Amino acid sequence: MSETITSREVIADGHSLRVYESGGADAAPVLWLHGSGPGVDALANWKGLLTDLAGDFHNIAPDILGFGESACPDPWPHGVAASVELRARNTLALLDELQIEVAHVVGNSMGGMIAMRMAQIAPTRLKRLVLMGSGGAGGLRPEAAKKTMEYLANPSADHLHGLMQMFVYDEAAFGVDLRKLAAERMAIAMRPHIARVNAATFDFSQPMFVLTQEQLAEIPHETLVIHGREDRVLPVEASHFLSTHLPNAQLHVFPKSGHWAQLEHRRGFKSLIQAFLQGSL
């Protein structure tokens, strides 16, 4: 871990959360919410940005409930919508425990869904929103859904590698050995409590989390919607929909980018986030 990043345990609504932080406590707080891939945690999504932006914000990146080193309540609700609801309310409880009244929120994929649900539940607790490759406007691309189901039916490093290949624009140019990364993440994903939560979350017989045009129109926050043009997990059209119906949203599309724009375009992503959250974009 970078020396600029610290970690601690915080109890939020009775559940233990691992929370990573960088930057000064007197800076503007930014809550970073990671996505939902098997074995993912806060540092997998955000380590580089927590380091890059330590001089600009008070960055707060939890392992969201049910991921990484955070608690995995039992029983866990089935379905994406129910999981988003539990996680949104738990993340608001985290802000309470940290005594943060208002924060900017950056949400990736499922983290974007959680951010929007938080905005619905407690709009005055959130300032500006960044939604990167966010769900909430429809389902996965068919091939990504197929790879997800293959992994859930038979969790293995090979199936996880096949799923992770969907997340990047160019595996050869990505700079990380995805097969090795898949093996590392399997060690986390196959912890019994995490595997149980993941299987319940992706029970596709239960409702998804999808917001209507009318629901989006009621989220007033200044919002930056970001998507990779070649995203093979969630189509870029989903972010076009969000940015069209969120009343104060703007859209940025990164070319030659998959679902992990924050990793494939780290420098540009950092500059964009910095400008938007500081009000100069």
| Contact (Cβ atoms closer than 8 angstroms) between residue 61 and residue 279 | no
Cis omega (within 30 of 0) for bond into 192: no
| Contact (Cβ atoms closer than 8 angstroms) between residue 239 and residue 216 | no
Distance CA 113, CA 131 (A): 8
Q: Is the dihedral of CA 64, 69, 71, 75 positive or negative?
A: positive
φ and ψ at residue 162, rounded to 5 degrees: -60, -40
Token pair 């189509």: residue: 235
Distance CA 38, CA 210 (A): 21
User: What spatial distance separates the first Cα and last Cα of the chain, rounded to whole Å?
Assistant: 31
Distance CA 219, CA 223 (A): 9
What distance lies between CA 203 and its chain's CA centroid? 19
Distance CA 46, CA 19 (A): 12
Residue 77's identity, in one-letter code, is P
Q: Which residues are identified as catalytic? A: 109, 231, 259
Under 8 Å CB-to-CB from 4, ≥6 apart: which residues? 22, 50, 51, 54
Under 8 Å CB-to-CB from 82, ≥6 apart: which residues? 206, 207
